[in-house]
Amino acid sequence: MGRVSTITYLRFVVGRIHENTGVRNGLFNDAYVLLRGHFLSAVDRDVMDGHLAWFDDHLPVPERFNRSTSKGSYRRSGRGISWLKPSATEHISRMREISRILQEYGHFVTMIKSARPGYIVYEDEHQIVAEPFADTGA
């Protein structure tokens, strides 16, 4: 871990800046807020709920979000942010559908790509978590 990547990774982000990472938030928070609210049509609620449930079953929760291995580092807020691997085609397709629903309800979503996401601190089959470089525009 801690290496620099040569693969182009993908993130789906909303406009707000995350207080710990200093980069834009991913879309899951907005998706859950919208799902729990009373704004979605019944069809969109079912679609959104289905996609979020699928991610719960098919995207592991990363074990770490920072490079530190010091005692207690697992309890600290991590600076790492999650990126999808380009091979995670089903995940990307579902993120696009969640994005479509969010945008229908007034949320601004952007898909960004980077071959330089930062220092990789976690990796699984579908995603990485990387602490962003100072010049990473995520």
Please report, rounded to a whole number, the percentage of residues in the chain having pLDDT higher than 90.
64
Closest by CA position to 136, among listed 81, 88, 85? 81
Pairing of strands 109-114, 9-17: antiparallel
pTM of the model: 0.82
pLDDT in tens, 105-130: 999 999 999 999 999 999 999 999 99
Give the span between the Cα atoms of 97 and 47, in whole angstroms: 9
Beta bridge mates, 128: 83, 123
pLDDT in tens, 66-81: 766 655 545 545 678 9
Mean pLDDT over 80-90 rounds to 95
pLDDT at position 73: 46
pLDDT at position 15: 79
